[in-house]
Amino acid sequence: MMPSQEKIHFLSIFILTIIIPACNEPIPEEKTENRSKKLADTSGMVWIPGGEFIRGAQVPGEYRREYPPHRVQVAGFFMDSTEVTNAQFAAFAKATEYTTIAEREIDWEEMRKQLPPGIPKPADSLLAPGSLVFDPPATPVSLDNHHQWWKWKTGVNWQHPTGEESNIQDLMNHPVVHIAYEDAQAYCNWRGGTLPTEAEWEYAAKGGLKDARFSWGDEDPIENPNLANIWQGTFPNENKALDGYAGTAPVASFPPNGYGLYDMAGNVWEWCSDLFAENHYHELAGLKICYNPAGPKKSFDSREPYAGNKRVIKGGSYLCHVSYCENYRPTAREATSEDSGMPHLGIRCVIKMDVDTAN
């Protein structure tokens, strides 16, 4: 990180509004394994038993937003064993006649609220519905400017992942992508569930392991490409696809973690319900333990201070490479604007049972 960004980071600690940590009351002991499944359809899900864990990075060398580590307790919940597929989202869209954000007309007045002051209105042709696509350069480039490989393209959405000429006919068992936060919420609500909190997601991703760096243990996926769908080669211009996939892979193409969850590392990023505030972990560090944390009350990312609300995304994707984005670790956390859909961002739902009514 450049020195000027360091100054912005430390200054932000002082200018951020003080946020009361969203930690609830202690979780009572309960026989979570006996919870009933009758309140919602949990087919395709696995039960994640509640428990305590250390959230955040415990070893030096990870991204600063992963520190400091702190103790968290979560209640048990059901979680999708795989990322939501195109087939599953198609069933939802058909049943509800839902239109995703990437398919809707763009409201410039709403969009400009998320941009630095003074940005002129783009041509109307550029304000047509669409989404971001990955456009790799032909040769190696400096990694300090992501605009070199991302571009906006009209006509892109979950049904047309690379443009109007594309379709998902042969991708029905791949994770659905180009899904914004509102879209992800709507799908999970239709299922009778929610998006996972950041704490729930990280706890589940660890698969019952306490000190492992990855969801499967400590073996490096760069050395063993059969562990996860990530970038192998030189980012962003050469992907050798040693794991078999240059883009998304069908769900469950790689081994599950200890809880039976697939693709908790790589393939596509996954939305969480928490707002993203880069210093939120510092606010929790003084607590003995945090029960079912639900995230900060206000979003802030010094890298894009005008971006509006951002939500936490977890898990990394097929575009993650150790040289630029080693985010295929349970403790890794990133931020994405709520209205953003991308070709490497998808959904995984959870269902939380009420103990009193489920027994």
Q: What is the pLDDT of residues 23-44, one digit of tens each?
A: 766 655 544 444 444 457 899 9
pLDDT at 3: 36
In DSSP terms, 271 is beta-bridged to 313
pLDDT at 112: 75
8 A C-beta contact, residue 45 and residue 314: no
pLDDT at 114: 65
**Structure tokens given for 33:** 């394994």
Query: What average pLDDT is seen over the chain?
Result: 88
pLDDT bracket for residue 19 (50, 70, 90): very low
Query: What mean pLDDT do residues 89-118 have?
Result: 87
Query: What mean pLDDT do residues 223-249 have?
Result: 97
Whether the pLDDT of residue 133 is over 80: the answer is: yes
Q: Where are the alpha helices (DSSP H) in 70-137?
A: 86-96, 108-111
Whether the pLDDT of residue 343 is over 50: the answer is: yes
Query: What mean pLDDT do residues 242-252 have?
Result: 97
Whether the upstream peptide bond of residue 68 has omega within 30° of 0, thus cis, is: yes
Q: What is the DSSP string of 153-216?
A: EET-BTTBTT-TT---TT-TTSBP-S--HHHHHHHHHHTT-BPPPHHHHHHHHTTT-SS-SBTT
